Structure 1
Amino acid sequence: MSEGMRRAQVLLPFPGEGLFDYWVPEAVVPGQIVRVPFGRGAKLGIVWSLKADPSVPDERIKPVEAIWEGLPPLPEADRELLEFTARYYLAPLGEVVAAMLPPALRRRKREPRSKGRGEEGGTVPAGPLPELTEGQRAALEAVPRDGFSATLLHGITGSGKTEVYLRLVAECLAQGRQALLLVPEIALTPQLTERVHARFPSARIVCLHSEAPAGERSAAFVAAMRGEIDVVLGTRLAVFAPFVRLGLVVVDEEHDPSYKQFEGVPYSARDLAVWRARRWNVPIVLGSATPSLESWASCEAGRYRRVALSARASGQPLPTIELIDTAQTPAEEGVSAPLAQAIEATLARGEQALVFLNRRGYAPVVRCGHCGWVSRCPNCSVNLVFHRDDGRMHCHHCGYRETPPRSCPECGALDLQPVGRGTQRLEERLQALFPQARIARIDRDAVRTLAQWETLLEEVRAGRYDLLVGTQMMAKGHDFPSLTLVGVIGADAGLYAAEVRATERMFQQLIQVAGRAGRAGAPGRVLVQTEFPQHPLFRELAAHDYAAFAARTLAERRALRLPPFAFQALLRADDEALEPALAFLEAARTTGREIAGREGWPVKVFDPVPMRLVRLARRERAQLLVEGGRRPALHAFLERWVEALRGLPHPRSLRWRLEVDPLET
């Protein structure tokens, strides 16, 4: 190779470790973005190390095609974030960088031209600021500004957490630094983006999420690399946005499971945000009306500080929560008489009501009344859900659809009926009860795009609808000034679920949806239909007592040595049949127990079992749980175990995946 060139390792967004040797100019430094020949084409990569693999002869090494000199090198702290993600989640480094680099940027053949930094902006908020409540002032003063700190802002619904975030962002921008604001779902980005733009009209703000146009997302990433951005706002993928002057991290609705990535590298954006704040030595604020029990336990242990916002910013009281005992007061077609009466009175006053049911579609199953046959997905071990709008049965897991049969496939009877209820059937029932009401159904079937969601939110706030029927889309962070009544149907579902976090998620969801009522003007009222009104969870719910719920649930988890008092990893395997998946996991169990015993690591390797949803998209699935009382010991075991797993024989059709800190076991 000619003078002035040296060998270096380039990290490519590749389904593997992704490190390959290339010749690069002497002036190239780690973090530089380059385009390199690969196979019959070319790929975008990051110069990762100036050390090369000595086992590869020089003549086999190719030179880079282009160096994107207009982009600064990826900062060391951001490269460390990628390395930590790969190390902690035991994922190939190439897959991690693929999660960071926008797909359109990876495909780009030419270096994007710089637009320059432009004017400094965003240091002075626009217009008069809203008056802070006493609680907001106290919360703002309680957040440390110097160095790393993790603050859990436990603010009831409507307490004005966002205003606290904005005041912190203003201080950050005034110091010439950047802020990262994370929200759990795309549906929450429009209103927060609007508020940030309104507060800082001259600030350079980008919004990163998976539905953003490919070109915009790539341009935002490039601008962030150049330090041309003041505020990055987005969903979980925004945690990988590059920064040069990071000064503040905010994670809103920190409890939300949407921060967990389930496809590809199974990372938690919330947890990576905490790590990132620590690495940059800046404060992080985790906000929620219903904090995760992990964060609550971190406060109890002194790792986080807890700051409370216990009053609504509007001065309105929290809504009253009443329990309707459906064992004593049956619900006809899902709606009890007390709920129907409350809706009627609310509409008569010209106010809005929301009926919450976290199940979309018309009916969960189509059933034969003669022989008991039920509609099942041919690809998954779930029932097909009947949808009235298109007259077809849908699988909500693999997307399979089919028209209901005219007669029973088993016995030929014509007695086929939709059983149970989803939001479509509930909408039909409410339309029959309140024929004059303007009803809007809000679920993933009715609202498919961000533009549709923004339009619908505007219409609801403008009073164009009287009665809303919604799923969990309605439970998070939305303000509807005229909404005074919330009715909850199907509240008991979480009590039946065989999942460690089921009751935690149930309580969080109920508190969040209850918080939509009475946020402005008239007081709010919430009616929850349940067969178990004496259950401690419902008593704590009626009292808005999250602290009592957390204390009771954490005591149960501590006694049973469940997270957050234990640390877990889940090995999943799937194949065209269940037997090869179980056989692989049985071999993995044997190997794991041998490693743990030999090294003396206090790690439990449980027996493999079929997953609850055993068949998904024509693949049979099984899992194996690993648990340890100390995180370092568990990770030391996992690193050794993964090396051994790569050497276990298995059919080519089998796939396996390890998930650290699983949310569902």
Structure 2
Amino acid sequence: MPAATSAIILKVALPVPLFRLFDYYPPDSVTADELQPGQRIQVNFGHRQLLGIIVAISDEASIARDKIRPALTLLDREPVLSASILKLLHWAASYYCHPLGEVLYHALPVALRQGKPAHFPTQTLWQLTELGGSTRPSSLTGSRQQQLLEELQRVPQGLSQEALRTLEYSSQTLNSLQKRGLIHSFSREQRPLAPHGNLLNEVHLSLNAQQQNALDTLLQRDQGFSVTLLEGVTGSGKTEVYLQLIEHHLLQKQQVLVLVPEIGLTPQTLRRFKHRFNVNVVILHSGMNDNERLHAWLEAREGIAQILIGTRSALMVPLPRLGLIVIDEEHDASFKQHEGFRYHARDLAIVRAKQADIPVLLGSATPSLESLHNVERGSYYHLRMLQRAGNAEAPRLHCLDIRNRPLTQGFSAPLLESIRRHIEQGQQVMVFLNRRGFAPTLHCADCGWLAECASCDARMTLHKQSRRLVCHHCEHQAAIPLHCPSCGSAALEPIGQGTERSEDALSDIFPDVPVIRIDRDSVRGKQRMETLLDPVHKGHPCILLGTQMLAKGHHFPDVTLVAIIDADQGLFSADFRGMERMAQLLVQVAGRAGRAQKPGEVILQTEHADHPMLATLCEQGYDAFAREELRSRQHVGLPPWQPMALLRADHRRPAIALEWLSSIRQALQDYILQQHWGHEIQLAGPLPASMEKRHDRYRALLHLYGSQRRELHHLLQWLCAFIELNPPPGDLRWSVDVDPADTF
């Protein structure tokens, strides 16, 4: 036991799936004054060494003191997680029922999880001493020594080791001047410098009446915590409102966090922000390497980055002068983490804003039903912008019933005629199909065999260009067979439509028109999307074909027709959110048409033109659709009308997960009876997941509903403690998903 700090117990959170902290003594060489919550510390844990976070410093131990070991190494002088971030992550771990150690670990860049220093890289510089500044170069003997002394006298702030190496000065020359006391070396961090000059690189755009009203209202509500939902139709100029609101906060020397749902949106958002502001604008997303992410994280923590743009993990970056959070496309499901720590960045951002007493702005053309419900309850303020910027006309939406119509490679004759007409007028057309690959599966015409994944309850997608069958759930790949594996027949044919097949069909039908395909397969590699979209931005007549990668964030002023060739995918989803997501996607895609002075047209090919919800969406718009969907959810007691959680389990053997969840349900029912919560909590299941087998594991679900969130969370906390005391069978994995984004 360390003598100097024998009374001190460190409460350490470790990245292990256990809902508790661990006691350690401080390292032998560390004094009490050096310890703070939020620092990283290296410890022995069983037979491993782990990196943990100090959560608290106490004089009370939770186990016998003779069993407590000293930690190995304190890695930081200052906390890597500030007090405000620790408070936020404590709340998140409790709310989302996830071990605190894993939550804190998740909040750190990978480089910091690996124990690397939490500071900018250092560089060595050489500078004149006082004697060197007064020495005449001609008094030196060697010509290179004279040249180096002259060089440093011209640059009194010093030259880096790299610069001197580029100028071909040898270490012998440096050592000679150093021995004579003429120069000396020193180290400093390579910190980015703040730009000088005006705040703005370009003047902001003039606002129309609705934009100006939105900005004025936001500025009036800018003191303290508030949540504002800015609902603006596509093309209404929401981003310009963001920019002018952000300008107001930058003038107050505050930092701004801007969350976007996907990596694909960050480069264009970054360009627009850098064109507008003469400040340090930093991005953070999973497509960056570990050093890039660490550098961005450090710029934000040190207050150097004045605007941080990122995907959901950017929410947990320390920002000491945070004054505003903007969440663009707040409805997007990408803000929900679907594995491990299953938090929702939008909801957690609102908690962070409340704790920091700052405003948060949610923006969307198709707000989530949760946000609209919060507007109805009075929790959020609602602003609407229904006018497109520049007085552009809203596109005309038309449902094209394709029942009993012959199709050419998935395209009806009226749709092809519309495409032809727009192209002949020198305009651009977007064709939307949210299914990549050539065809959803491969089929034997003789025996009915289908290409299915051996690891999942899913069919293999045919990718013609790579000549592979690919499972889009586990990424398993196989060669395309020449003969049917079941009957040996050569009568194998693709079934259904994917983007590759649509590309071939459109190229055959319109041989003189460029067809540009945008999906995950075509845009692999940096700058690939920009290269593909270059002719589109230049205004050349073309057909733009793609998946939901095209649905949001892009500005295509010459696209006058959007064709949606399969509008029915979400109408009969197993997930209760499927209808909402379908409507949001269709509206977002439709919004790409007619964004400049040219009127737009949207055609939805459907076999269910008389579906009431599709008719409401097309004829009355998203607002009417959302109100109707909210009423439907209220009728059956689904979120957002009452809180919900899922207990998920999976195992390599069939039925094990179901059996375990059945035993958990019985324990939950017993506890509910003890608490007299018979009407407050409902359980449903357990049931197999809609895709039961995935990645060679069999999945099952237990649904939990609560009329009050307090009782439901009390039950979930009890459940986690119960499972930790009664571990599941070996190899069974389980997780709690609070406010799940999908339920299948």
Q: TM-score normalised by the shorter chain: which range applies?
A: over 0.9
Counterpart position of 1:507? 583
What does 1:143-158 align with in structure 2 at a 5 Å threshold?
Answer: 143=218, 144-158=221-235
Q: Matches of 2:396 and 2:116 in 1, distance apart?
A: 59
Q: Matches of 2:421 and 2:466 in 1, distance apart?
A: 33
Residue 29 of structure 1, CA deviation: 4.8
Residue 195 of structure 1, CA deviation: 1.0
Q: Per the alignment, in what secondary structure is the counterpart of residue 314 of structure 1?
A: helix
Quick one: which of 22, 28, 47 aligns to 2:25? Answer: 22
Distance 1:421 1:476, change over 3 A: same
Counterpart position of 1:422? 498
Quick one: which of 49, 61, 64 aligns to 1:53? Answer: 61
Residue 651 of structure 1, CA deviation: 2.4
Q: Per the alignment, in what secondary structure is the counterpart of residue 265 of structure 2?
A: helix
Counterpart position of 1:198? 275
Counterpart position of 1:486? 562
Alignment of 1:432 with 2:508, yes or no, is yes
Structure 2 gaps of 5+ residues are 121-188
Quick one: which of 605, 608, 633 aligns to 1:557? Answer: 633
Residue 12 of structure 1, CA deviation: 3.7
Q: Matches of 2:74 and 2:661 in 1, distance apart?
A: 45
Q: Matches of 1:85 and 1:420 in 2, distance apart?
A: 43
| Counterpart AA for 1:627 | Y
Q: Matches of 2:112 and 2:620 in 1, distance apart?
A: 47
Measured against aligned partners, the alpha-carbon deviations of 1:519-575 in whole angstroms (never above 9, x if no partner) come to 113111111111222323333333462221111111111111111011111111111
Distance 1:175 1:115, change over 3 A: farther
Q: Matches of 1:133 and 1:121 in 2, distance apart?
A: 31
Measured against aligned partners, the alpha-carbon deviations of 1:401-427 in whole angstroms (never above 9, x if no partner) come to 112322222222222111111111111
Question: Which is further off, 406-415 or 122-131?
Answer: 122-131
Quick one: which of 61, 65, 80 aligns to 2:73? Answer: 65
Residue 200 of structure 1, CA deviation: 1.1
Distance 1:554 1:63, change over 3 A: closer
Residue 14 of structure 1, CA deviation: 4.1
Counterpart position of 1:636? 714
Q: Matches of 2:534 and 2:669 in 1, distance apart?
A: 57
Counterpart position of 1:291? 367
Counterpart position of 1:140? 215
Quick one: which of 38, 42, 47 aligns to 1:36? Answer: 42
Q: Matches of 1:31 and 1:354 in 2, distance apart?
A: 53
Q: Matches of 1:12 and 1:568 in 2, distance apart?
A: 29
Alignment of 1:130 with 2:208, yes or no, is no
Residue 440 of structure 1, CA deviation: 1.0
Alignment of 1:92 with 2:167, yes or no, is no
Counterpart position of 1:373? 449
Counterpart position of 1:161? 238
Q: Matches of 1:285 and 1:122 in 2, distance apart?
A: 28
What does 1:577-588 align with in structure 2 at a 5 Å threshold?
Answer: 577-588=653-664
Counterpart position of 1:359? 435
Quick one: which of 68, 82, 100 aligns to 2:89? Answer: 82
**% identical equivalent positions:** 40
Q: Matches of 1:233 and 1:157 in 2, distance apart?
A: 21
Q: Per the alignment, in what secondary structure is the counterpart of residue 150 of structure 1?
A: strand
Question: Which is further off, 626-635 or 453-462?
Answer: 453-462
Counterpart position of 2:356? 280
Counterpart position of 2:599? 523
Q: Matches of 2:192 and 2:23 in 1, distance apart?
A: 33
Distance 1:135 1:271, change over 3 A: same
Q: CA RMSD of the aligned region, Å?
A: 2.0
Residue 477 of structure 1, CA deviation: 1.5
CA contact (8 A) 1:82 1:96 kept: yes
Measured against aligned partners, the alpha-carbon deviations of 1:190-247 in whole angstroms (never above 9, x if no partner) come to 111111111112x122111111121011112122222222111100111111111111
Q: Per the alignment, in what secondary structure is the counterpart of residue 607 of structure 1?
A: strand
Q: Matches of 2:422 and 2:455 in 1, distance apart?
A: 44
TM-score, with length taken from structure 2: 0.86
CA contact (8 A) 1:363 1:420 kept: yes
Q: Per the alignment, in what secondary structure is the counterpart of residue 407 of structure 1?
A: coil
Q: Per the alignment, in what secondary structure is the counterpart of residue 659 of structure 1?
A: strand
Quick one: which of 238, 257, 262 aligns to 1:180? Answer: 257
Question: Which is further off, 215-224 or 453-462?
Answer: 453-462
Q: Per the alignment, in what secondary structure is the counterpart of residue 522 of structure 1?
A: coil
Measured against aligned partners, the alpha-carbon deviations of 1:109-143 in whole angstroms (never above 9, x if no partner) come to 44524455844769722222111111111001122
Counterpart position of 2:682? 604
Q: Per the alignment, in what secondary structure is the counterpart of residue 646 of structure 1?
A: helix
Q: Matches of 2:572 and 2:485 in 1, distance apart?
A: 31
| Counterpart AA for 1:135 | Q
Counterpart position of 1:9? 11
Measured against aligned partners, the alpha-carbon deviations of 1:446-467 in whole angstroms (never above 9, x if no partner) come to 1124532233334431246711
CA contact (8 A) 1:364 1:386 kept: yes
| Counterpart AA for 1:387 | H
Quick one: which of 530, 538, 542 aligns to 2:614? Answer: 538
Quick one: which of 710, 717, 725 aligns to 1:647? Answer: 725
| Counterpart AA for 1:53 | A
| Counterpart AA for 2:245 | L
CA contact (8 A) 1:121 1:204 kept: no
Q: Matches of 2:331 and 2:238 in 1, distance apart?
A: 15
Structure 1 gaps of 5+ residues are none
Distance 1:493 1:164, change over 3 A: same
CA contact (8 A) 2:323 2:359 kept: yes
Alignment of 1:301 with 2:354, yes or no, is no
Residue 59 of structure 1, CA deviation: 7.5
Measured against aligned partners, the alpha-carbon deviations of 1:570-624 in whole angstroms (never above 9, x if no partner) come to 1111111222111101001101111111112211122211111110011111111
Alignment of 1:242 with 2:245, yes or no, is no
Q: Matches of 2:89 and 2:500 in 1, distance apart?
A: 44
Distance 1:122 1:231, change over 3 A: farther
Residue 469 of structure 1, CA deviation: 1.0
What does 1:564-575 align with in structure 2 at a 5 Å threshold?
Answer: 564-575=640-651
CA contact (8 A) 2:24 2:68 kept: no
Q: Per the alignment, in what secondary structure is the counterpart of residue 33 of structure 2?
A: coil
Residue 293 of structure 1, CA deviation: 0.3
Q: Matches of 2:514 and 2:325 in 1, distance apart?
A: 41
Q: Per the alignment, in what secondary structure is the counterpart of residue 34 of structure 2?
A: coil
| Counterpart AA for 1:619 | R
Q: Per the alignment, in what secondary structure is the counterpart of residue 390 of structure 2?
A: coil
CA contact (8 A) 1:152 1:285 kept: yes
Measured against aligned partners, the alpha-carbon deviations of 1:6-46 in whole angstroms (never above 9, x if no partner) come to 43223344444464423142223533433424357765443
Q: Matches of 1:195 and 1:577 in 2, distance apart?
A: 51
Counterpart position of 2:163? none
| Counterpart AA for 1:148 | F
Residue 253 of structure 1, CA deviation: 0.3
